[in-house]
Amino acid sequence: MAILTRRDFVKAAGAAATLPVLGSRAFAQEKVKVGFIFLGPIGDYGWTWAHNKGREAVNTALGDKVETIYTENVPEDSTAVGSIRDLANAGCKIIFTTSYGYMDQTIQVASEFPDVKFEHCTGFKRADNVSTYNSKFHEGRAVLGTISGMMSKSGTLGYLGSFKVPEVVLGVNSYALSAQKKNPNAKVKLVMIDSWFDPPKEAAATETLVNLGCDVVTTHTDSPAALQILEQKGLYGFGQGADMSSFAPNAHLTAIEDIWGPYYVERVKALLDGTWKSGDTWDGFKEGTVVISPYNKAIPADVVAAADEIQAGYKAGTYNIFTGPIYDQDGNLKVKDGEVISDADLAVMDWFVKGVESAS
Amino acid sequence: MLISGATAGLAGALEFAGALKVINLGFPSGYGFTAIIVSFLGRLHPIGCLIASIVLAVTYVGGQLAKTTVHIPDSTAGIFQAMMLFFILASDILVRYRVRLVPSNKPAMVAGE
Amino acid sequence: MNFDVIASIMTIVGLSTPILLAGLGELVVEKSGVLNLGVEGMMLLGAIGGFAGGVMTGNPWLAVIAAAAAGAFGALLFGLFTLSLNSNQVATGLALTIFGTGLSSLLGLSFTGRIVMPFGSIFPPVIAKHPFFQVFFGYSPIVYFALIMVVAVAWFLNRTRGGLILRAVGENDLSAHSIGYSVIGVRYAALAFGGAMAGIAGAYFSLVITPMWAERMTAGRGWIALAVVVFAGWKAGRLLIGAYLFGILMWLELFAKAGGFTDFLPAAQAIPSQFWAAMPFLMTVVVLAIISSRETGGGNAPACLGKPFLPSN
C-alpha cells in the first residue's frame, strides 16, 4: 500500500535509458506486438478500464504469441499522432485507438505505416489498413431510460454528455425515448461539457442538472464524479463503461458495462492468421459487447422486470428502441409508425428527439 | 506586442495546418506556458530561443515515449523541464556574483604589552 | 424560476471557495512584493498531498494539514530560487506550475481509482441537510475556514504590526531593510502562508468536490485565482467579492449549457456558454485597465512586486 515513489523515480530514470532501445528494430521479435491507445487512465474504473480489461483478455488468450503495450491519457488532439506513431515505431503490428477523437490521427498514421493494422473505436473513417468498431451502447441506454422513467419522481432526467457526436446523440435519444415509454411526460436535460474526462467539471455539471430539477442523472463521461455528487445528494445515477457501485453504493442503480475482450481476441487472431480485413463492426446486447451490471437492491421488482424485458428483447433481436413514431425536438415526425431507423442512419444521427432539452 | 501576438497566432495555425490537417475537437493547451520557459532558457535572444525550443521539444517527446514504455504520466516531463529552468535561473546568481569566503572579523591579536 | 435556488447557491459557493483560498494566499504573497505565478502547481501538490493524507490516515483534518504542507513545500522551493538565489520571479513561478503539475501526476499514480470519504459538513445532518438551512450549514469546514481567513487576512494586513511590516516590505523593501526588518524572512513567511492556502484550495478538489484523484484536476483554477487578486486590487474584501463573482460566472457557463435560461429568459439562452467561460478573464483585463488609468491608484500593486531584493550592502 506504500507509495512507490522511489520506484517511480527509478522508472523515470529508466525511461531515459530505454529511449535508444525503443528506436531500434534490430532485435528479433518472436512475439507480435499489439498496441493500445487509451483516452484516460486505466484507473478511471470506466471507459478506459473496460478497454484495458479487453487488452488483458488478449494477454490471457494469446499471451504466448503476442505482447501488448499501451499508452494511457492520450489527449484527443495532434499530440495523439505522436503517440500512435510511437507504438507503430515500437513494432506494433496492430493498434487499437480507443476513442472517437483519434479518428483523423489514426488515418494519418495509418497512411505512414501501410503494413500496420489500425482499429479505431466509435469512428467512421476507414482505409485499407484501418477498421472501425463500435458497440451499441444505446441499447444499454434503453434499459437505463426504462429504469429512470419508472423511478424518477420529478420526471426530469439529466444526461451528462461530452461532445455532440453520433455516439452521444444516440445515447441521449435512446434514453429519452425509453423513459417516455414509461412516463410520457419525461424530459431529459442535456449538458455537454466538451470533455470525456474532467472530474471537477463533471461534478459541477451534475450539480447544475440537479439544481434544474433532475433526480436521476446518467453520464456519458468517464469518471465516477457524477455518481459521487448523486450519492452526496441521495439521488440516483448509473455507471458508465463499468460497474461503479464501489464509488456510490446507494446512488448507483446499475451500469452499462463495455465488454471488448472477445472482439480484441478475434481481431488479433485474424491478424496472426493473415485473415485480417478492414471493415466495420457494430455489436450490441446480442453479441455480448453490452452488458448490464447487477441491479441495486433499491430497484423495485416491477422496474427490474421491465428492464429485463428490454434486455431480452434486444438479445433475441425482436426489440429496437428506434422504432417509430419518433418526433424531433421541434415536433416534426422523423420516423413513421412501425418504421425502424437503419444502422447506417444511426451512425450519423445528429438530431435529438422530442423531450430533450439542450442548449445546442 | 503586435509581432508577438502574430507569431503566437501563427504557431497555433501551424499546429492545425501541419500536424493534423483537420480542425478537430481538441487542441493541445499548455504550449503557451512552455513558450515562456523557452524565452527565458534562450536568455531572451532569438537564436537562444531556437535552441531552447528544440531542447524543450526533446523533453516533451521523451516524456511521451516514457508514457508508453514506463507508464509514467507525460506531465512528468514537466518535472525535468521545470528543474532545468530552476537551475538555469538560479545559476544567474553565480554568473553575476562571485562567491567569496569572508573570514569573520576577529580583533587583531596584538602581541606585547 | 424553476431551478433550485438553494442548491444553486451551494454550487456557487463550492466553485468559489478554492479560488478564494488560493487568492487570499497569493494576496499576502504579492503584498510582500513577491509575484508567485506557481499557484496552479501548488494547488495540484495540495490536491495530491491532501488526497494521499486522506487515504493513508483516513482523517480529513490531517489530510488538509498534509495538503497545506505540500503547497507550502512548493512555495518554499520557489522561495529558495527567487529569494535566496535571486532568480527571475515570473519564470520561476511558471516553472513551479509545470513542476507541481508533473510531480502531482507522478505521485498520483499510486492513487488512481482510490476514493476517500468526502469532507462534508460537520454540523448534524438535521441542519446540514435541511432544505433551507443547508445553505448556511451544509458546507465543508474548508468553506468556513476560507471565509474566516478573509477577515483574518484583512485584519492582519491592516490592523497589526506584522501586517504593516509585510506591507512595508512590499512597498519599499530597501527602506524596510534599512530599518532593520528581514525582508527575505518576511517574504519566506508570506510564501509559506501562500503555499499552504493554495494547498488547501487544491485539497478542496480532491477531498470535497470529487473525492478522488485525477491528473490536472484543478482545471486551471489557479490562474483564475491569480486574476482575481488583480481584480480585487490587492484588497481582501474585494477579493471575496471577486472570487464569488467568478464563481457565479462559472456556474452561469454550466447553467447556460444545461439550457437553464430557456424557461425564464430565452434571450439569454442565445448567448453561447463559452462567453460565460471567458468572462472572468475579460473582466480582469477591464478592471486592470480601469485601476491603472486612475493616476492616484488606491489599492494598486505593491511597488516592489516582482522585483528581486538587492540590498546594496
Whether A143 and A131 map to the same domain: the answer is: no
Residue-level pLDDT at C1: 44
Range name among C86-95, C155-164, C239-248 with the lowest pLDDT average: C86-95
**Is the pLDDT at A26 greater than 50, yes or no?**
no
* Contact call for residues A247 and C213 (beta carbons, < 8 A): no
Per-residue CA distances from A32 to A27, A120, A280, A335, B67 (Å)? 13, 19, 23, 48, 21
Q: What is the pLDDT of residues B9-21, one digit of tens each?
A: 887 777 666 655 5
- Domain carrying residue A313: 138-250+289-357
pLDDT grade for B113, boundaries at 50, 70 and 90: very low
> Between C138 and B16, where is the model more confident?
C138
**Is B16 in contact with A78 (Cβ distance < 8 A)?**
yes
**Residue C51 domain flag:** yes
Indicate whether A51 and A85 sit together in one domain.
yes
What is the DSSP secondary structure assignment for residue C38, as one 8-state letter?
A: T
Is A200 within 8 Å of C112 when comparing Cβ atoms? no
pLDDT band, residue C275 (cuts 50/70/90): confident
Task: Give residue A101's pLDDT.
Answer: 87
Q: What is residue C207's DSSP assignment?
A: I
Comparing A149-158, A271-280, C215-224, the range with the smallest average pLDDT is: C215-224
Mean pLDDT over C223-249 rounds to: 90
Would you say C162 and C190 are in contact if contact means Cβ atoms under 8 Å apart? no
- CA distances C113 to A46, B80, C108, C215, C248, Å, are 10, 26, 10, 12, 31
How far CA A259 is from CA of A167, A270, A283, C153, in Å, comes to 17, 19, 10, 54
Residue A5 included in any domain: no
Residue A26 located in a structural domain: no
Residue A248's φ and ψ, nearest 5 degrees, are: -150, 75
Residue C73 and residue C82: Cα distance in Å, rounded?
14
Q: Is residue C150 part of a domain?
A: yes
Residue C295, pLDDT above cutoff 80:
no
Total domain count, chain A: 2
Map out the domains of chain B as residue ranges: 30-97
Q: Are C194 and C75 in contact (CB under 8 A)?
A: yes
Residue C245 falls inside a structural domain = no
- What is residue A28's predicted lDDT score, i.e. its pLDDT? 46
A96/A156 same-domain check: no
Q: Do C214 and A197 make contact, defined as CB atoms within 8 angstroms?
A: yes
What are A83-109's pLDDT values in tens digits? 899 999 989 999 999 998 899 999 999
Q: Is residue C312 part of a domain?
A: no
| Domain shared by A79 and A216, yes or no | no
Sign, CA dihedral C53-C54-C59-C65, equals positive
Q: How many other C-beta atoms can be found within 10 angstroms of the C-beta atom of residue C122?
A: 13
A residues 300-359 near B, CB within 8 Å?
none
Please indicate, yes or no, whether residues A66 and A181 belong to a single structural domain of this protein: no
On whether residue C186 sits in a domain, the answer given is: yes
C7 touches A211 (CB < 8 A):
yes
Say if residue A21's pLDDT is above 80: no
Q: Residue C115, SS3?
A: coil
- Quick one: A178 and A144 in the same domain? yes
Asked if residue A140 lies in contact with residue A170, where contact means CB atoms within 8 angstroms, the answer is no
Calpha distance B71→A338 (Å, rounded) = 51
Asked if A203 reaches chain C (Cβ–Cβ under 8 Å), the answer is yes
Give the one of B40, B80, B83 whose C-beta lies nearest to C91's C-beta. B40
* Minimal CA separation from C236 to chain A, in Å: 26
Q: Could you read off the pLDDT of B46-65 as tens digits, one per residue?
A: 898 899 889 888 887 887 78
For residues C291 and C233, the answer to whether their CB atoms sit within 8 Å is yes
Q: Is some CB atom of chain B closer than 8 A to the CB atom of A111? A: no
What is the rounded CA–CA span in Å between residue A224 and residue A138? 20
Asked if the structure places residue A22 within a domain, the reply is: no
Question: Is residue A154 within 8 angstroms of chain C, CB to CB?
Answer: no
Instruction: Give the range with max mean pLDDT: A19-23, B95-99, C254-258.
Output: C254-258
Residue of A nearest to B77 (CA): A12
Question: 3-state DSSP call for residue A183?
Answer: coil
Whether A213 and A297 share a structural domain: yes
pLDDT tens string C4-14: 788 889 999 99
Q: What dihedral angle (degrees, nearest 10) is formed by the CA atoms of C279, A223, A51, A17?
A: 70
pLDDT of residue A97: 94
Q: Are both A36 and A115 inside the same structural domain?
A: yes
- In B, which residues are within 8 Å of C77 by CB distance? 86
- In the numeric block, which cell numbers belong to residue B6? 502574430
pTM above 0.80, yes or no: yes
Residue C81 CA from chain centroid, whole number: 22
Q: Is residue A4 part of a domain?
A: no
- Condensed to tens digits (0 to 9), the pLDDT of residues A323-336 reads 888 998 888 888 88
List the single residue in B77, B86, B92 with the smallest CB-CB distance to C95: B86
Dihedral angle computed from the Cα positions of residues C280, C286, C291 and C292, in that order, rounded to the nearest 10 degrees: 120
CA distance B85 to C91: 8
> What is the Cα Rg of chain C in Å?
20
Q: Name the residue range of residue C120's domain.
A: 5-222
Q: CB burial class (10 A; 0-12, 13-18, 19+) of residue C171?
A: middle
Residue in C closest to B44 by C-alpha:
C91
When computed from its CA atoms, the radius of gyration of chain B, rounded to whole angstroms, is 23
In a domain, A92, yes or no: yes
Helix (H), strand (E) at residue C107: helix C89-108
Complex ipTM over 0.85: no
Identify whether residues A201 and A66 lie together within a single domain.
no
Domain count of the fold of chain C: 1
Give the helix ranges, DSSP H, for A2-136.
5-23, 47-62, 79-89, 103-112
> Got the DSSP string for C143-194?
HHHHHHHHHHHHHHHHHSHHHHHHHHHHH-HHHHHHHT--HHHHHHHHHHHH
Residue C137: strand, helix, or coil = helix
In this structure, is residue C68 part of a structural domain? yes
Neighbours of C3 (CB within 10 A): 17
B30 in A contact zone (CB under 8 Å): no
Distance from chain centroid for Cα A283: 13
Residues of C in contact with B78 (CB under 8 A): 98-99, 101-102
* Chain B CB within 8 Å of residue C219 CB: no
The count of CB pairs under 8 A between chains A and C is 117
Which of A77, A86, A108 is closest, CB to CB, to B68?
A86
Give residue C67's pLDDT. 96
Judge if the upstream peptide bond of residue A249 is cis by omega within 30 degrees of 0: no
Q: Are residues A143 and A215 in the same domain?
A: yes
Chain C residues touching residue A155 (CB < 8 angstroms): none
Cell for A218? 446518467
Average pLDDT, chain A: 87
- C 9-48 near A (Cβ less than 8 A): 10-11, 14-15
List the single best residue of A11, A207, A358 to mutate versus C (max C Cβ within 10 A): A207
Task: Using an 8 Å CB-CB cutoff, list residues of chain B that contact chain C.
Answer: 33-34, 36-37, 40, 72-73, 75-83, 85-86, 89-90, 92-93
Provide the CATH number for the domain around residue A346.
3.40.50.2300
Residue A23 pLDDT? 47
Contact A217, A158 (CB under 8 A): yes
Instruction: State how far residue C269 is from chain A, nearest Cα, in angstroms.
Output: 7
Asked if residue A277 and residue A214 are part of one domain, the reply reads: no
**Would residue C305 count as lying in a domain?**
no
Residues A46, A142: one domain? no
Measured in angstroms, the CA of B19 and the nearest CA of chain C are apart by: 24
Rounded to a whole number of angstroms, the distance from the CA of C45 to the nearest CA of chain B is: 13
Q: What are the pLDDT digits (tens) for C31-72?
A: 999 999 999 999 999 999 999 999 999 899 999 999 999 999
What is residue C128's three-state secondary structure? helix
* pLDDT score of C251: 87
Q: Chain C contact for A73, CB < 8 A?
A: yes
User: In chain B, what residues touch C103 (CB-CB under 8 Å)?
Assistant: 79
Beta carbons of A69 and A35 less than 8 angstroms apart: yes
| Average pLDDT of every residue of chain C | 87
The minimum CA-CA distance between B108 and chain A, rounded to whole Å, is 53
For position C42, what pLDDT does the model report? 97
User: Which pLDDT value is given to residue B58?
Assistant: 86
> Tens of pLDDT along A282-312?
988 888 889 999 999 999 999 999 999 999 9
Q: What is the mean pLDDT of residues C259-276?
A: 70
- C-alpha–C-alpha distance, residues A211 and C263, integer Å: 14
pLDDT at A27: 44
d(CA C203, CA C44): 8
C-alpha span between A57 and A49 (Å, rounded): 12
Q: What pLDDT, in 10s, does the model give residues A136-175?
A: 999 999 999 999 999 999 999 999 998 888 889 999 999 9
Task: Report the percent of chain C where pLDDT is more than 90.
Answer: 50
Average pLDDT, chain B: 75
Chain B residue numbers with beta carbons less than 8 Å from the beta carbon of C87 are: 86, 89-90, 92-93
Chain A nearest CA to C81, separation (Å):
23
Which band of pLDDT confidence, cut at 50, 70 and 90, is reported for residue A178? very high
Among B33, B39, B71, B99, which would you mutate to test the C interface (most chain C Cβ atoms within 10 Å of its Cβ)? B33
Q: Grid coordinates representing C94? A: 511558471
Nearest to A151 by CA among A183, A177, A185: A183
C-alpha cell at A42: 486505466
A14 in reach of chain B (CB within 8 A): yes
Residue of A nearest to C272 (CA): A359
Cell numbers at A145, concatenated: 431510460
Does the distance separating the beta carbons of A83 and B64 come in below 8 Å? Answer: yes
Distance CA A110, CA A113 (A): 5
| pLDDT number for residue C241 | 94
Sign of CA dihedral C110, C113, C114, C115: positive
Neighbour tally for B110: CB within 10 Å: 6
DSSP state of C72: H
Amino acid at B50: L
The half-sphere exposure of A227 on its side-chain side, counting CA atoms within 13 A, is 28
Measured in Å, how far apart are chain B's first and last C-alpha atoms? 74
C91 chain-B contacts, CB cut-off 8 A: 36-37, 40, 85, 89
Q: Tell me which H or E stretch contains A290.
A: strand A290-292
Give the A:B interface size as CB pairs under 8 Å.
80
pLDDT-derived band at A25 (thresholds 50, 70, 90) equals very low
Is residue C171 in a domain? yes
